[in-house]
């Protein structure tokens, strides 16, 4: 017999709440004092987009790796502002002329 009922999720066990230990970093000595508040690089891979302006903004995100968490917001806001400006500039470039009003025919209907 089962205690499961439709629409009800089973309660997680204590083992499901535990966070698995990740691999030990070879750069950190097990006996060394490590400051948990010190900046730690996120090592996020940034794939080039092919647009030099966008790639430069994304590369700026690497600056956050060397800052404490409270310094990240400045970098993120700067990158966001730059990406927004780049997208806005795309709208400013003139494209093909847009027809105005009703279409005109090349013949006279009279």
With cut-offs at 50, 70 and 90, classify the pLDDT of residue 104: low
* C-alpha separations of 45 from 6, 9, 59, 62, 83 in Å: 42, 36, 10, 10, 18
pLDDT value, residue 81: 96
pTM given for the model: 0.48
CB atoms within 10 A of CB 106: 4
- The whole-number pLDDT of residue 84 equals 95
- The pLDDT of residue 93 is above 60: yes
Sign of CA dihedral 71, 74, 77, 78: negative
pLDDT, tens digit, 9 for 90 and up, residues 20-70:
555 554 555 555 677 776 777 777 788 899 999 999 999 988 888 888 888
- Cβ of 20: how many Cβ atoms within 10 Å? 4
């Amino acid at each position: 017999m089962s205690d499961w009922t439709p629409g009800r999720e089973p309660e997680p066990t204590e083992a499901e709440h535990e966070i698995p230990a990740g691999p030990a970093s070879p750069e950190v000595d097990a006996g060394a004092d490590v400051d948990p508040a010190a900046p730690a690089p996120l090592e996020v891979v940034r794939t080039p987009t092919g647009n030099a302006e966008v790639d430069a903004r994304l590369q700026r995100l690497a600056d956050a790796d060397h800052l404490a968490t409270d310094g990240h917001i400045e970098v993120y806001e700067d990158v966001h502002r730059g990406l927004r400006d780049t997208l806005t500039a795309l709208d400013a470039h003139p494209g093909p002329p847009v027809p105005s009003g009703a279409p005109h025919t090349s013949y006279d209907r009279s």
